[in-house]
Structure 1
């Protein structure tokens, strides 16, 4: 099967990283030197909650800790999300890893 790279942009930061769906968005960002807020890394604590400004994701778990309203408003949990397309994320607390 061919690997498809997806481009992920962090809105308002001008930061971009690629992911190939072999790891969560959280881990792909970390590998690219970008720290997204996180704690549990399994979709329950909601520390990584951020907003999807463009694109689509799918989840590694059946029911991530999001309400239906949050899903409708575009919120995602990057610790258990995989990019289905190129993405734009709103993550005000994102930081560069020094």
Structure 2
């Protein structure tokens, strides 16, 4: 079934620690989608610098719409993401 024109692409996110799942549109940061679904994640700055929301991505892909989120290259390669500025690009599983 096709989505109506203008509808955001939706992905399914699973939070392992909370044993929860929620839908997340591609056009919204994961942190906001989680909060709207009733799963408030730890956060502070909401702009990718404080790292309060840092989580490990177990599977899936995210994109950032800011040039440099507050992650080191090694952290990114190990799967760490910042949900406050990460947008889903696929279904996700987060620790």
TM value normalised by structure 2: 0.89
Q: Determine whether 1:54 maps to 2:48.
A: no
- What is the CA–CA distance in structure 1 between the aligned matches of 2:17 and 2:83, rounded to whole Å? 18
- What is the CA–CA distance in structure 2 between the aligned matches of 1:37 and 1:66, rounded to whole Å? 17
What is residue 32 of structure 2 aligned with on the other side? 27
Q: Aligned pairs, how many?
A: 90
Q: Could you list the per-position Cα deviations for residues 34-90 of structure 1 after superposition, in whole angstroms to 9, with x for gaps in the alignment?
A: 011100000000000110000000012111000011001100000000000000001
What is residue 92 of structure 2 aligned with on the other side? 87
Unmatched 5+ stretches in structure 2: 1-5
- Secondary structure at the residue paired with 2:56? strand
Cα RMSD (Å): 1.1
Q: Please, which of 42, 45, 48 is the counterpart of residue 40 of structure 1?
A: 45
TM value normalised by structure 1: 0.87
Unmatched 5+ stretches in structure 1: 91-98
Larger radius of gyration: 2
Q: Could you list the per-position Cα deviations for residues 14-45 of structure 1 after superposition, in whole angstroms to 9, with x for gaps in the alignment?
A: 20000112311000000000011100000000
